[in-house]
Amino acid sequence: MDAVLQYLQTNQQTALDELFEFLSIPSVSADSAFQPEMQRCAEFVRNAMTKAGLTAEIIPTKGHPIVYGERIEDPSLPTVLVYGHYDVQPPDPLNLWTTPPFEPQIRDGKIFARGATDDKGQLFTHLKSIQAWTETTGKLPVNVKFLIEGEEEVGSDNLEHFLQAHKERLKADVAVISDTSQYGDGIPAITYGLRGIIAAEVRLTGPSKDLHSGIYGGSIANPANAVAKLCGALVGDDGRVQIPGFYDDVAELSAMEKQQFADLPFSETGFLNEIGSGALFGEEGFTTLERRWARPTCDINGIFGGYTGEGPKTIVPSKATAKITCRLVPGQNPEKIMDSLKSFLQERCPPGVKFEFQSFHGCEAFAFDPTSPWITAASEAVETAFGKAPVFIREGGSIPVVSSFQQILGIDTLLLGWGRNTDNLHSPDEHFYVKDFHNGILASTHLWPKLAAVEA
């Protein structure tokens, strides 16, 4: 172990340099203009796997390629499946970045770049720790399989098929993902639950072209007014989602879990300051952590149509669109919620307005037993590296593969987040603390022998 730790020390700068190279590739999965970059990024990941001592290959899918690598040390050892995603969210709005999103730079101890924390920087820690083990000891304490995909930020549509098709090959005892966050400054966390999601878009079309609102306004339905009405009906003033049946299957929090949430350090003013918001709002009768981690929601992600340029323009627009997501909790079925969302909107669409609904993706929520021996082993590794025992938390974001791992491969996932929720994920000036990057590599290095010792 000493030699491995020494290797990490000696190679800190190299690891950073390589991460910079990774971050310089604009692997934006949502935008087809970046397709060649996705391929280039997959090649980078494959090469990094080979360097780490894995046998690696790029596997094409209907969408962006999957990179798969493995190293089977000894069939009698436990096998760990590591997942990550090399795709990133679009960097827009570009003018709000201090330095360009794909030209990584370190300022104030933080690496700034799109994907720095979500998820390139975090997934890279596992490749670097594996490399440290193989280069110093020539072997690994466990068998590892790495599955790094390029479509997480767009819903992982082709992944389920891949998991079904390669079920035998992907067989493992437990999965590891670093794509979540620490609980707070100096408080590492292991996440045992995430919310699920459905994502959809509603497109309304009125007249065949934009019309003069003085000549025609008031005599036909305006699709922008209509989209506002549809969207406005989704959430009540009490914070409750109004879609019929939305709460029918929601698993309520146990008194014990409510207590565990309440025991975590949390300041409402600190939280509001962090996000630059003036007041809390949410479902009545629940605390902020409960609302964020264990209650379902409905959010409009974008609403547009008609004239959005500078100054006034007097029209009845031809078209208006809204993008909508619901976060789901254990018990809720994504298909069922998608169907009720669609009917809810359709029923409110005025006559003369064409209604089109596109569902993008969906995945279920989950919550694991936080007392499993895998979690205890991971907790020890995190404590050794970060100097503090992790707290056990749930999170409100979604990682679609986790419930698929559970359903298709029958394994639980250890969600070990090295980043922070304040790292500006999906926002301008995304960053990752250099310190969190190195501690992540260290925790990952300690993780493998800890997992090897678990009596499964």
Binding site for ligand BES (CB under 6 A): 118-119, 152-153, 155, 179-181, 194, 197, 361, 395, 397-400, 425
Contacts of 436 (CB under 8 A, 6+ apart): 117, 182, 418, 419, 420
Which of 349/365 has CB closer to ligand BES?
365
Which of 67/230 has CB closer to Zn ion?
67
| Enclosing H/E stretch for 106 | strand 105-107
Contact between 423 and Zn ion by CB under 5 A: the answer reads no
Which of 115/206 has CB closer to ligand BES?
115
- Of 118, 152, 412, 436, the active-site residue reads 152
Residue 130 CA to residue 377 CA, distance in Å, equals 18
Which of 157/173 has CB closer to Zn ion?
157
Contact between 179 and Zn ion by CB under 5 A: the answer reads yes
DSSP classification of residue 241:
B
Binding segment toward Zn ion, per CB under 5 A, in 17-25, 112-120, 356-364, 381-389: 112-120
> Rounded to the nearest whole angstrom, what is the least distance from the CB of residue 177 to ligand BES in the complex?
9
Which of 18/395 has CB closer to ligand BES?
395
Whether the bond between 119 and the residue before it is cis, its omega within 30 degrees of 0, is yes
Whether the bond between 93 and the residue before it is cis, its omega within 30 degrees of 0, is yes
Tell me if residue 152 is catalytic: yes
Residue 59 CA to residue 147 CA, distance in Å, equals 10
Question: Contact with Zn ion (CB under 5 A): which of 70, 87, 119, 430?
Answer: 119
> Rounded to the nearest whole angstrom, what is the least distance from the CB of residue 437 to ligand BES in the complex?
16
**Partner whose binding site includes residue 180, from ligand BES, Zn ion, none (CB under 5 to 8 Å by kind):** ligand BES
Residue 64 CA to residue 42 CA, distance in Å, equals 9
Contact between 87 and Zn ion by CB under 5 A: the answer reads no
| Enclosing H/E stretch for 42 | helix 35-51
Q: Which residue is nearest to ligand BES (CB)?
A: 397
Tell me if residue 87 is catalytic: yes
In DSSP terms, 325 is beta-bridged to: 199, 299
> Rounded to the nearest whole angstrom, what is the least distance from the CB of residue 179 to Zn ion in the complex?
4
Residue 354 CA to residue 58 CA, distance in Å, equals 43
Residue 420 CA to residue 425 CA, distance in Å, equals 9
Q: Of 337, 62, 66, 389, whose CA–CA distance to 198 is shortest?
A: 337
Binding mask 132-171 for Zn ion (x = CB under 5 A): ----------------------------------------
Q: Of 85, 13, 21, 7, whose CA–CA distance to 52 is shortest?
A: 7
**β strands within 245-368, DSSP E:** 297-305, 315-316, 319-328, 354-363, 366-367
> Rounded to the nearest whole angstrom, what is the least distance from the CB of residue 118 to Zn ion in the complex?
4
- Of 87, 118, 153, 364, the active-site residue reads 87
List, by residue number, the catalytic residues: 87, 152
Q: Which residues sit at the interface with Zn ion, rule CB under 5 A?
A: 118-119, 179
